[in-house]
Amino acid sequence: MGAHVATKGSGGRRRGRRGGSSKPMSEINVTPFVDVMLCLLIIFMVAAPLMTVGVPVELPETAAEALPGDEEEPLSITLAADGRVLIQTTEVPLADLIPRLQAIAAERDGNQVFLRADGSIPYEQVMQVMGALNAGGFREIGLVTDAGGPALDGSGG
């Protein structure tokens, strides 16, 4: 009833990977690797905002760009609305600020510090703390603000 046409090389053997002469697979299946990397990316994107310094401060808003990050954890000085000065999350009396900063600067590789000041703090007090940071050995002072403030170029923010 049916006719079978034999092609050259078929010889009645089975084709495909199930045959006796199949080669080992030489490709790497990267799909599980990509799945794991995407899961880790999502985890770090969710966890990164939770790792900020936990002192509540109403930061002023500016149109400035963010500073590039370093390998070392940045030192953060906070001026709270009630006048308290904090190094990371530890409250420090203003009289002890320069000796503490000098001790910290001796242990660190970089001299960059981020100054977080509440928007209601007088300019004079912010400048006094910046002078103490300079005297303490920190020459690169970054002022932390919230994004989305006025651009002052007529664009309206």
Provide the 10 A C-beta neighbour count for residue 14: 11
Residue 98 pairs in a beta bridge with: none
Residue 72 main-chain phi, psi, to 5 deg: -80, 145
Q: Which residue has the higher pLDDT, 39 or 47?
A: 39
How far from the centroid of its chain's Cα atoms is residue 5's Cα?
Answer: 66
Alpha carbons 126 and 54: distance in angstroms, whole number: 20
pTM, entire model? 0.53
pLDDT digits (tens, 9 = 90+) for 86-99: 988 888 988 888 89
Average pLDDT, the chain: 78
> HEC states along the chain?
CCCCCCCCCCCCCCCCCCCCCCCCCCCCCCHHHHHHHHHHHHHHHHHHHHHCCCCCCCCCEECCCCCCCCCCCCEEEEECCCCCEEECCEEECHHHHHHHHHHHHHHCCCCEEEEEECCCCCHHHHHHHHHHHHHCCCCEEEECCEECCCCCCCCCC
Q: What is the pLDDT of residue 22?
A: 74
Task: Quick: pLDDT tens for 62-110.
Answer: 777 766 655 667 788 999 888 889 988 888 988 888 899 888 888 888 7
How many Å apart are CA 157 and CA 149, to the nearest integer?
6
Q: What is the pLDDT of residue 140?
A: 85
Q: Give percent above pLDDT 90 in the chain.
A: 6
Of residues 148 and 37, more confidently modeled: 37
Going by pLDDT thresholds of 50, 70 and 90, the confidence category of residue 36 is very high
Provide the percentage of residues in the chain whose pLDDT is more than 70: 76
Q: 75: how many CB neighbours lie within 10 A of its CB?
A: 19
Domains of the chain (ranges; CATH) run: 56-147 (3.30.420.270)
